[in-house]
Amino acid sequence: MSKVYNVGILGATGTVGQRFVQLLEDHPQFEITALAASDRSVGKPYAEACAWKLAGEMPEKVREIVVQPIEPPLDCDIIFSSLPSTVARETEEKFARAGFPVISNSSSFRMEEDVPLLIPEINHSHLQLIDLQREKRGFDKGFIVTNPNCAVVSFAPPLAALHRRFSIESVFVTTLQAISGAGYPGVSAFDISDNVLPYIAGEEPKVETESQKILGELNNGVIEKADFTVSAQCFRVSVLDGHTASVRVKFKQTSTLEGVMEAMTEFPSLDLYSSPKPFIKVCDEPSRPQPRLDRNNGNGMTITVGRLFPDNIYDYRFVALSHNTVRGAAGSAILNAELLIDKRLI
């Protein structure tokens, strides 16, 4: 029987905070003991502070937990943070300095040299940065790890599979992102009904830079970013959950369609509690993946790929999909925590 860790959630009343609560409900390794949110919520039981927006009911065991301020210390072993990036930087650092492992879904530290940007199946070796980070920032026991932007998560796994075999040179990605990615209240219904929004503030630069770090090699305490270029155009579409990425990829090495498919389907998953089987699922049906039908594959943790064909300019084209608030946010952070425990870093 595995040890149970107490966890605290920063930003517990938001949509990603709610996903954390939902995904942790029956988790064998974690028990929610602290919920922290903004001043408006502090002092209220979670059931009262939080307007629950997910299908199904708020889990019974968190209803009575009184919401606390977003300040260390909290009565827990691990911090999950889904704070908005405006406040994340200062607050997360405070918690790390106070000795907490901070597993962050925010963008603040993702591109910092000494902070792992994790997709456990791809780059768990980057965890070695934690020692460096502690030293550099003067943390004692605490540290910060991050998971990628929700749109990046949809296509970085197939890129990882392909990069190892065929060495990627460049990638065009066009994303069709779900409204839940904007948080709550997020996108106005008046803006998105019968419409497409061709702009998501700050998104394209994140999508263009994070995957090279994720696929980078750690050498002598430094992540050497993967040497390829990404061009991103990001759209918001009228879908509740599930980011779709339309991808063309050019390799430095020769490849075959079979090899490409094999690289994806055989990319190994891990043996952690939340690891999906498979990690990357490749569909044959011409009209898949679709967000509504495929976002919950592998309990929302599988990356689903389809429409994989040779491209007539680049080497291949495909469509990739992931659940943006599970694999793209709370689920990824939980998987990171499982990885840290497995590697005895917590």
Query: Residue numbers of the site for a second copy (CB under 8 A)?
Result: 15, 53-57, 170, 172, 174, 176, 179-180, 184-199, 208, 229-231, 233, 235, 237-240, 244, 246, 248, 286-293, 295-297, 306-307, 311-314, 317, 319
Nearer to a second copy, 124 or 243 (CB): 243
Residue 112's alpha-carbon distances to 17, 127, 221, 223, 235, in angstroms, are 24, 14, 13, 10, 26
Cα gap 314→282, rounded to integer Å: 20
Residue 195 Cβ, how far from a second copy at the closest point, in Å? Answer: 4
Decide: 151 and 206 in contact? Cβ < 8 Å.
Answer: yes
Catalytic residue (choose from 126, 243, 283, 323): 243
Residue 82's alpha-carbon distances to 18, 140, 159, 195, 254, in angstroms, are 10, 23, 26, 28, 41
Nearer to a second copy, 62 or 118 (CB): 62
Decide: 295 and 321 in contact? Cβ < 8 Å.
Answer: yes
Nearer to a second copy, 76 or 215 (CB): 215
Residue 273 Cβ, how far from a second copy at the closest point, in Å? Answer: 20
- Which pair of tokens denotes residue 301? 């943790």
Residue 18 Cβ, how far from a second copy at the closest point, in Å? Answer: 11
Active site residue 243: yes
Residue 125 Cβ, how far from a second copy at the closest point, in Å? Answer: 28
CA angle 178/181/186 to nearest 5° reads: 100
Active site residue 124: no
Nearer to a second copy, 129 or 260 (CB): 260
Residue 102's alpha-carbon distances to 7, 18, 173, 258, in angstroms, are 10, 18, 30, 41
Residue 176 Cβ, how far from a second copy at the closest point, in Å? Answer: 5
Nearer to a second copy, 11 or 289 (CB): 289
Element (H, E) at 218: strand 217-219
Catalytic residue (choose from 50, 76, 150, 283): 150
Cα gap 126→339, rounded to integer Å: 12
Cα gap 129→143, rounded to integer Å: 10
Residue 166's alpha-carbon distances to 74, 123, 169, 211, in angstroms, are 46, 18, 9, 16
Residue 326 Cβ, how far from a second copy at the closest point, in Å? Answer: 13
Decide: 9 and 345 in contact? Cβ < 8 Å.
Answer: no
Catalytic site positions: 150, 243
